[in-house]
Amino acid sequence: MQVQQRILVTGCNGQIGQVLVPALQQRYGKQNVFHSDVRGDVPIHLDVTDTTALLKLVQEIRPTMIYHLAAVLSATGERDPVRAWQVNLNGYFNVLEAAVACKVERVFFPSTIAVYGPDAPREATPDDAPTRPTTIYGIAKAAGENLAAWYRKKHGLDVRVLRYPGIIGWESAPGGGTTDYAVEIYHAAVDGQRFRCPLSAQRALPMLAMADAVRGTIEYMEADAEKILQPSGYNLGGFSGAPADFAGAIQQRMPDFAIDYVPDHRDAIAASWPEGLNDSAARRDWGWQPQYDLQALTAAMLGHIGAARA
């Protein structure tokens, strides 16, 4: 695919957007990346639930691609299900409608391991496992995957979906997710603080380094259309880790690091999700290959966060 693109990003102030936008700017040129959010100091203010404003913006920018990142994550979604539904489903629907109206070539929709529920296989969960989620976030994202397939079939819109695990990076803070602890634990360690973990010690979840997630997402969006054989999306795996694994990896480098396990409502959410993903279809179809494991990521997280504090 040619590299010249015009790209609209929604939710650019979120954990992924803050890292993806600079990567897109580097790849496609700053002048070709238009980034928006409903909060913060951003070049374009956009509430994706505002149908008229969204359509007007897409008409003005005429993007070739939309990376639709705006979302309310799992833990926040359980507290405010109405807003979670409005943003995660209605906002996305607005993006898809605007994309069809303005002949956008490709749309990226970030789905999640939260689409899987307790009846999916826990280990090496495959792409075609049942999606009967138990959180409002997962329910909206599962519907979003089906919408992607529907828009592809009905309108020929190339909507691409990745099921992200917990994403861990030093560059940005997560907000409102069940997997946020896996970023916060490193900040606590560097700050010399005892970490209060909201998940139980052995609650393993699929995880992925931010650097891998951003690179993989761009590679996926650039892959030739004939390589995308799964219209409702691909699992994007990295490694599997429980809080005790993160604590152990940190303690190998910082023996004084201490952690208390105080499971709250997030532990129950995590218990309904897979422990690890089978992402063999992404590897086979479009060449997905993560680079970081827990040890490499721990070294990078402690190094970068420590350097930023110095």
Instruction: Considering the complex, state which of residue 73 and residue 302 has its C-beta at the smaller distance from ligand AKB.
Output: 73
What is the Cβ-side half-sphere exposure of residue 276, based on CA atoms within 13 angstroms? 10
| Nearest CA-CA partner of 110 in 28, 15, 241 | 15
Shortest distance (Å) from residue 135 CB to ligand AKB: 8
Q: For residues 149-178, which are near ligand AKB according to CB under 6 A?
A: 164-166, 177-178
Q: Are 7 and 65 in contact (CB under 8 A)?
A: yes
Instruction: Considering the complex, state which of residue 7 and residue 113 has its C-beta at the smaller distance from ligand AKB.
Output: 113
Q: How far apart are CA 285 and CA 293, in angstroms?
A: 22
Q: How far apart are CA 143 and CA 89, in angstroms?
A: 8
CB atoms within 10 A of CB 118: 12
User: Is 74 an interacting residue with respect to ligand AKB (CB under 6 A)?
Assistant: yes
* Of the residues 88, 179, 272, 298, which one makes contact with ligand AKB according to CB under 6 A: 179
Using CB under 6 A as the binding criterion, the count of chain residues that bind ligand AKB stands at: 12
Per-residue CA distances from 276 to 45, 69, 121, 142, 264 (Å): 37, 23, 9, 18, 22
Catalytic residue among 137, 151, 164, 234: 137
Instruction: Considering the complex, state which of residue 24 and residue 71 has its C-beta at the smaller distance from ligand AKB.
Output: 71
User: Is 131 an interacting residue with respect to ligand AKB (CB under 6 A)?
Assistant: no
Q: How far apart are CA 239 and CA 206, in angstroms?
A: 6
Tokens encoding 300: 């990078």
Tokens encoding 148: 């992607």
Instruction: Considering the complex, state which of residue 99 and residue 199 has its C-beta at the smaller distance from ligand AKB.
Output: 199
| Nearest CA-CA partner of 115 in 146, 153, 94 | 146
* Of the residues 73, 190, 242, 300, which one makes contact with ligand AKB according to CB under 6 A: 73
Instruction: Considering the complex, state which of residue 9 and residue 167 has its C-beta at the smaller distance from ligand AKB.
Output: 167
Classify 239 as helix, strand or coil.
strand
In whole angstroms, what separates CA 135 from the centre of its chain?
16
User: Is 114 an interacting residue with respect to ligand AKB (CB under 6 A)?
Assistant: yes
Q: Binding pattern to ligand AKB, positions 7-46, x when CB under 6 A?
A: ----------------------------------------
* Of the residues 58, 104, 107, 113, which one makes contact with ligand AKB according to CB under 6 A: 113
* Of the residues 5, 10, 112, 272, which one makes contact with ligand AKB according to CB under 6 A: 112
User: Is 117 an interacting residue with respect to ligand AKB (CB under 6 A)?
Assistant: no
Instruction: Considering the complex, state which of residue 114 and residue 259 has its C-beta at the smaller distance from ligand AKB.
Output: 114
Classify 190 as helix, strand or coil.
helix
CA dihedral 9, 15, 16, 19 (to 10 degrees): 90
Shortest distance (Å) from residue 205 CB to ligand AKB: 7
Q: Nearest residue by C-beta to ligand AKB?
A: 177
User: Is 142 an interacting residue with respect to ligand AKB (CB under 6 A)?
Assistant: no
CB atoms within 10 A of CB 122: 15
Shortest distance (Å) from residue 173 CB to ligand AKB: 12
User: Is 94 an interacting residue with respect to ligand AKB (CB under 6 A)?
Assistant: no
Tokens encoding 181: 């602890």
Q: Is 67 a catalytic residue?
A: no
Element (H, E) at 255: none
Chain positions contacting ligand AKB, by CB under 6 A = 73-74, 112-114, 137, 164-166, 177-179
Active site (catalytic) residues: 137
